[in-house]
Structure 1
Amino acid sequence: MNKISRRKFLQRTSAAVAATAAANFGYAMPENKPNIVFLFADQLRYASCGYAGDEKAHTPNIDKMARDGANYRQAVSSMPVCSAYRASLFTGKYTSSTGMVINELRMNPNHRCIGHVATDAGYNTGYIGKWHLYANELGDHYNPDNSFIPRGKHRLGFDGYWAAYNFHHDYYGGAAYYHTESKEKIHYEDNKFEPDAQTDMAIDYIKKNSKSNKPFYLTVSYGTPHDPWQPNNVPEEYMDMYKDVEFDPPKNYSQKKDPYGDGWSNVDQNPEKLQNWMRCYYAMTANLDWNIGRIMSSLKDQGLLENTIVVFTSDHGEMFGGHGRMKKNIFYEEAARVPFLVYWKGKTKPVATDVCMNTVDIMPTILDLAGLKTEIPDEVEGVSLANAALGEKCPAEPEAAFLMNTGACAVWANGHEWRAMRSPKYTYGVFRGGGRDNLPRKEVFYDNKKDPYQQNNLVNDPGHKKEVERFRRMMMAKMIELNDDFPASTWYREHWTQNRIIKASARGKFKTI
């Protein structure tokens, strides 16, 4: 019996019978598999965490995880946009293979995702929070036809507990909601702040599953600290923490808009607006940290820390006016670099590693840590960096992370595309150019150590000629490997999608719907 048919066989069998059948067919399912709790924020940048050196951040629980666990301090988002990140997170593939090239598309479900692997390995799955892989209309997030993800293939293997929604960022005042098994919008009791209510649900899930004889894989996808940054979108007690805190514009701040940015990244911003936005952002982050602490306490109270892998990360960062840009969708440090922490009591080491962690590496890393290395799908394009969390050298440590952008944030518009390679020391990026403004192709090369705000472009500096050429070669090799020829954004619309639903990919790696 081949591997595929074994998998289908096990899916149709109860857990007890599956274990026996698996042994009879030589399918090695690890015993005593650890639980997995995957927690991720939306738009929390690495630089805005206390453990990363930000003295204005109030993140004691996240900081403790960074001290006690594995701190991947060179983690980046392979494409710093919400939907693209999530597609890569679940599949272990780059955007050029998932087809999730901008926000507000509907994911093609014909991938083998981490949820499928976990379910087939006997895990109870739980998913709470934002999904953002089921849209097919721009700006119509609140339509239940886009907001509710029906049970079945579009949940990408998360077949258990479900309390999620496709997209919204109304957190407070009764506007927040989620769905379970119908289009009915369920609002949180007592108008509770959404991250607090989601954490309540997560703790309840952990308590119930602590009594199960099956391991659980829980994902909590928080919406904060994503904008809108308005005082009425944050509990007053957290806004009070920052009411007198002064935030200076970033050192690379510019009111001159980036010509390669889209309408969302080039929104109007000035120092006064930034001041108010950052107060809300840091208040949301302080609340997020409190909720992370609550989940860690729940795992401790249930006696689960020694058998639970806990991951904390973020889908991308935030520019806050750096290089004249807001939001994300760029390879600059503020947008691309994210926290990535792994804690497993007694297993992971308190280590700060500079191995290059990319979004596509998360899936194989988690599965490897959980003892499911042999079940990593063949089509996964990332590599396992699990050994780094154990204080060991990884068998394959990427020299640099490949980052890509395939268009504007959520609209089909040419002229915003870029590709980049980032190592701990250097960032090399290429803007495709073209578009409505007929922008020229542009290359940049930054020394991240000496120039952390990436203000000095060294691409034509004679002293860095060899390094620039090396990064060019690395990036070209990666693009060839991925069959990525750097097309304009609208090429994907014309070849991959129909009514914003992804139908096929250039690589032919998944079936059409």
Structure 2
Amino acid sequence: MTAHLRKSFLVILFISCLFLISNRASAESKAPSRPNILFLFSDDQRADALSAYDNPHIQTPNLDQLVRTGFSFRNAFCMGSIHGAVCQPSRAMLNSGRSLYRVPMNLKGVITLPQLLKQSGYTTFGTGKWHNHRDSFQKSFTTGTAAFIGGMSNHLKVPVMDLKEGQFQNKRTGDKFSSELFVDATVDFLNQHPKEKPFYAYVAFTAPHDPRMPPAAAMKAYKKNPPPLPKNFMPQHPFNNGWMTGRDESLTGWPRDPKIVQEQLAEYYGMITDMDTQIGRILNVIKKNGFDKNTIIIFSSDHGLAVGSHGLLGKQNLYEHSMKSPLIFSGPGIPQNKSSEALVYLYDIFPTVCDLTHTPVPAGVEGSDLAPIWRGDTDRVRDSLFTTYEDLMRAVRDDRWKLIRYPQINKTQLFDLKNDPQELHDLSQKPREKKRVQNMLALLKTWQQKTDDKQPLTSDHPKSETIDLTGRKRKPDQHQPRWIIEKYFDSE
């Protein structure tokens, strides 16, 4: 090869390399960036326990800010539970994207959302409550600090441990209030994490789950102005739903004393306010460290809680106050201060995060991607929604109507949620609603078939719906929150 030809060849080769580099850089610049995901998850928080959701009796300034800067789903539900610890199946569904009867409680053999993201290049961090066995936590997270493997605990003595290199270590008892403990762990992670690598941080609070023992500072507002009773407060549930004296329902006696219920609601709000204060610390660090430009923040809870509504205290029922949760997405690309009334499940979060992180949805995931709703491509992902509890209750609802069936006592309730959002007026026996009841029972059976629910809706030997709990006291081995709230009401 002559010197001239060699020189020409080198020039062509150089230009070709520049062209390839330019094309690669252009492709990379056009490739979608992978945002960080910060998932804040509370425990037992009603959907209406946010000031921004038209509740002037609770103080939640940081969560209110997420509402203003994000998109809220106002009809987000836990599908239900196979036992009294509703937290466990709710979290199993959330982390698997699967419906209740198709996911094991220990998540064995199922790919979890953080596990999927870890496999796709994310650093996955976990702290707080994990109610689905230690093995599934180990496979899901790259690292973890102050992980609580269990259902409930004294908030000042939470048994926790850390995950390092795939193994748990440093077992200890937390030396701070639970919300502060978990937020300290999250802040440390955020301060050490390099900006160039995407992260998924799962922060699962144990608040406001009982024992409700809010720090005194969070109770000051409620000491001066106790919240009013729920609009659907009752001294006792009007019939035996099959779970009248379970653990949660035994936190006080019958008939429900309005003063005690009001006090319990105040401490419940106090727990949420304290958690909100701690969440503010995380949001400040996100902004301070420059993560806010590329971080999607999700806030939700595993389900709601009665706290006096319908004469109930717990979450073992299918009324709106117990199965509905707050659900907020906030961050780059998400509309601000907008909301949707679409019927969604918490396990829809799984495929939605896959969409946001450009991660293929694995086989077996049943949830629906919610991002098309805020993008304006659709206004719903389903026309009706099914909830379930043990073998005691089944429910189905659409945009307006809701039917609850109690198979063990052959009882049906029908509510017009548009005109009766508090579910106080059962219309099931109204002659004009006979056809509607039939149609909704048929829809309920369709949902059962769709979700592998084998429970018959009628009993050949129904139990009595009558139960007399007048004068019955709480179980002596149950936590009685009142002593805690009196402590703060009686002190400054």
Please indicate, yes or no, whether the TM-score normalized by the shorter chain is above 0.5: yes
| Bigger mean CA deviation after superposition, 63-72 or 177-186 | 177-186
Structure 1 201/445 Cα, relative in aligned 2: closer, same or farther at 3 Å?
Answer: same
Residue in 2 aligned with 1:259? 240
1:162 deviation in Å?
A: 4.4
Cα deviations across residues 225-263 of structure 1 (Å, max 9, x unaligned)?
11112xxx2211112221122333323222334511422
Residue in 2 aligned with 1:187? 173
1:184 deviation in Å?
A: 5.0
Residue in 2 aligned with 1:352? 339
1:447 deviation in Å?
A: 1.1
1:10-25 map, 5 Å: none
SS in 2 for 1:186: strand
Equivalent AA in structure 1 for residue 278 of structure 2: N
Residue in 2 aligned with 1:178? 160
Residue in 1 aligned with 2:447? 478
1:110-509 map, 5 Å: 110-134=109-133, 149=134, 152-153=135-136, 155-167=138-150, 169-173=152-156, 175-180=157-162, 181-182=167-168, 184-188=170-174, 191-209=175-193, 211-229=194-212, 233-257=213-237, 258-262=239-243, 263-267=246-250, 268=253, 269-372=256-359, 375-393=360-378, 397-406=381-390, 417-433=392-408, 440-486=409-455
Equivalent AA in structure 1 for residue 430 of structure 2: D
Q: Give the Cα–Cα distance (whole angstroms) in 1 for the partners of residues 141 and 413 of structure 2.
A: 40
5+ residue gaps in structure 2? 1-23, 25-30, 458-492
Does the aligned pair in 1 maintain the 2:146–2:181 contact within 8 Å?
no
Does the aligned pair in 2 maintain the 1:428–1:446 contact within 8 Å?
yes
Does the aligned pair in 2 maintain the 1:264–1:326 contact within 8 Å?
no
Residue in 1 aligned with 2:481? none
Structure 1 159/432 Cα, relative in aligned 2: closer, same or farther at 3 Å?
Answer: farther
Query: Percent sequence identity over matched residues?
Result: 27
Structure 1 204/348 Cα, relative in aligned 2: closer, same or farther at 3 Å?
Answer: farther
1:391 deviation in Å?
A: 4.1
Structure 1 length-normalised TM: 0.76
SS in 1 for 2:300: strand
5+ residue gaps in structure 1? 1-22, 24-29, 101-106, 135-148, 408-416, 434-439, 489-513
| Corresponding residue pairs, total | 414
1:468 deviation in Å?
A: 3.1
Equivalent AA in structure 1 for residue 150 of structure 2: F
SS in 1 for 2:394: strand
Q: Give the Cα–Cα distance (whole angstroms) in 1 for the partners of residues 181 and 407 of structure 2.
A: 43
Equivalent AA in structure 1 for residue 48 of structure 2: A
1:109 deviation in Å?
A: 1.0
SS in 2 for 1:444: strand
Q: Does residue 41 of the first structure (1) align with residue 42 of the second (2)?
A: yes
Q: Does residue 91 of the first structure (1) align with residue 91 of the second (2)?
A: no
Equivalent AA in structure 2 for residue 259 of structure 1: N
Q: Give the Cα–Cα distance (whole angstroms) in 2 for the partners of residues 420 and 462 of structure 1.
A: 21
1:112 deviation in Å?
A: 1.9
Residue in 1 aligned with 2:20? none
| Bigger mean CA deviation after superposition, 286-295 or 457-466 | 457-466
Structure 1 212/483 Cα, relative in aligned 2: closer, same or farther at 3 Å?
Answer: same
Q: Give the Cα–Cα distance (whole angstroms) in 1 for the partners of residues 137 and 44 of structure 2.
A: 24
Q: Give the Cα–Cα distance (whole angstroms) in 2 for the partners of residues 243 and 467 of structure 1.
A: 46
Q: Does residue 70 of the first structure (1) align with residue 74 of the second (2)?
A: no
Q: Give the Cα–Cα distance (whole angstroms) in 2 for the partners of residues 223 and 321 of structure 1.
A: 21
1:177 deviation in Å?
A: 3.1
Cα deviations across residues 460-490 of structure 1 (Å, max 9, x unaligned)?
33333444344323322221122221169xx
SS in 2 for 1:243: helix
Equivalent AA in structure 2 for residue 197 of structure 1: L
Equivalent AA in structure 1 for residue 449 of structure 2: I
